[in-house]
Chains A and B, each alone.
Chain A
């Protein structure tokens, strides 16, 4: 024991040897508190839980820092179904001593068992509701609620006691006796339960006595004594009277009652039970059906996904195999590259191969590497091919083959967009070919791009002629 003043260990003396504080009363308080804790522990060990609660509460009133008492009190509360009270005590204990405290284990165990925690919460709520129902004179509803509470939290002493009280009120003594007995199995020292049990036993005893008394009386009147002259005739009661029609009437009444009971009570209950089972099965099948439908939907989605995947793979394979001409186009580019590298071949050959590559492929499907090589080859042959096309174009123009001239000069201008001559002759070829609109377009382009060139002046004259 430590001194309350300086915290030093106390001896058997009535004062602190370190600070001199008077510890006589302090020691008495601590001893009393410890004695009460021991009493609580003993009571708890023989399942006198309410006695244990009283002793432990008293112990804490003397010394609120008694950790063991708090932990044990929490445990006892927990055992009687009062989960929240138990948690409160353990949390306070934990606050007082955060480490090396068994309360930590209790709290963690409860936290980890979410199902149990949820049951405790719900059962407490339902119990409180049942208590309200009792005050509202809804005993039957309260009994239903309490039965649920007990099924969730079987050691909930308060709920069992209230149920016992309700059975007493409804004079269902057998049920009340059973419930009181169960309550006492949880907490054998609970005065309320003991009182209920005593009351119930008294009523049951009286009822048994009354029954026994009636039977005795009945047994006593089992014979009728008659005198006929000097003779006394002993005739058993009922013999000869009841063995007649009465027996059959009673049997008939019994059968009728039996039929009625089965028709009005047993049969509806059985029907209801069968219907419930059928409903349960139906909902089970419904759930299974929903599950299967969901699976089917998933699988369908998966199939669609896989089909899309297959299509993509197919397209990729087609791309590699050249079903849309990709391989062929690549061959043209390779052939163009080979012709470019081979000095024995003309640059016009390179152009022929490059010309075979479709424009839409260059715009959309070609890879960066493809385009790089394509541009490189075009750049490489550009000037010489432009010159060749220009010469051929002029030649065709001079020989009045305007169609061929337009084709060659177009290519020449494509390869060399800085050539004002090519553009001028192209316009002229269109003009002489009778396509004045295209001619005007080319002349205008010439005026715009090369306004200071010699051809610009000629183009202007032609435009005037065209009337543009």
Chain B
């Protein structure tokens, strides 16, 4: 059974030309899984390096 009001809530306004610029910036700033992985890799490297420093002391 379709309830009009409920269905209407599922409709969202489309992006207009004026909103394109902000949308582009927003999308460009979005992260991806590759970035997450790289951050993890860098953190783990620095953690290892940090541990090494402590160990050397």
A297 within 8 A of B: no
B37 within 8 A of A: yes
A178 within 8 A of B: no
**Min distance, Cβ B3 to any Cβ of chain A, angstroms:** 10
A contact residues around B7 at 8 Å (CB): 165
Nearest A residue (CB) for B31:
A64
**Min distance, Cβ A280 to any Cβ of chain B, angstroms:** 32
Near B by CB (< 8 A), chain A positions 11-51 give 21-22, 25-26, 29-30
B contact residues around A127 at 8 Å (CB): 13-14
| CB atoms of A131 and B13 under 8 A apart | yes
User: In the docked arrangement, what's the CA distance between A5 and B33, Å?
Assistant: 15
Q: Which of A55-63, A322-330, A367-375, A429-437 contacts B (4 or more CB under 8 A)?
A: A55-63
A contact residues around B31 at 8 Å (CB): 64
Contact mask for chain A residues 118-155; partner B; CB cutoff 8 A; 1 contact, 0 none: 00010011011001001100000000000000000000
- The answer to whether residues A84 and B8 also contact, given A95-B28, A128-B14 and a CB cut-off of 8 A, is no
B contact residues around A87 at 8 Å (CB): 20
| CB atoms of B33 and A62 under 8 A apart | yes
Number of A-B contacts (CB under 8 A): 90
A91 within 8 A of B: yes
| CB atoms of A88 and B16 under 8 A apart | no
User: In the docked arrangement, what's the CA distance between A195 and B2, Å?
Assistant: 9
| CB atoms of A4 and B11 under 8 A apart | no
A212 within 8 A of B: no
Task: Count residues of A near B (Cβ-Cβ below 8 Å).
Answer: 41
| CB atoms of A84 and B28 under 8 A apart | no
| CB atoms of A63 and B14 under 8 A apart | no
- The answer to whether residues A165 and B30 also contact, given A29-B37, A127-B14 and a CB cut-off of 8 A, is no
A contact residues around B51 at 8 Å (CB): none
A82 within 8 A of B: yes
User: In the docked arrangement, what's the CA distance between A4 and B40, Å?
Assistant: 13
Near A by CB (< 8 A), chain B positions 1-32 give 1-2, 4, 7-8, 10-11, 13-17, 19-20, 23-24, 27-28, 30-32
User: In the docked arrangement, what's the CA distance between A346 and B44, Å?
Assistant: 124
User: In the docked arrangement, what's the CA distance between A168 and B8, Å?
Assistant: 12
Near B by CB (< 8 A), chain A positions 77-114 give 82, 84-85, 87-89, 91-92, 95
Task: Count residues of B near A (Cβ-Cβ below 8 Å).
Answer: 27
B54 within 8 A of A: no
A158 within 8 A of B: yes
B contact residues around A158 at 8 Å (CB): 11, 14
- The answer to whether residues A92 and B33 also contact, given A4-B38, A121-B16, A131-B13 and a CB cut-off of 8 A, is no
- The answer to whether residues A134 and B33 also contact, given A124-B16, A128-B13, A165-B2 and a CB cut-off of 8 A, is no
CB pairs A–B below 8 angstroms (23 shown):
A21-B41, A29-B33, A29-B34, A30-B34, A65-B34, A82-B15, A84-B16, A84-B19, A87-B20, A88-B15, A88-B24, A88-B27, A89-B27, A91-B20, A92-B28, A127-B13, A128-B16, A131-B11, A131-B13, A165-B2, A165-B11, A199-B1, A199-B2
Residues of chain A at the chain B interface (Cβ within 8 Å): 4-5, 21-22, 25-26, 29-30, 60-65, 82, 84-85, 87-89, 91-92, 95, 121, 124-125, 127-128, 131, 134-135, 158, 161-162, 165, 168-169, 192, 195-196, 199
10 additional contacts (CB under 8 A) given A64-B35, A162-B11: A65-B34, A84-B16, A84-B17, A85-B15, A85-B23, A91-B24, A124-B16, A125-B16, A131-B13, A199-B2
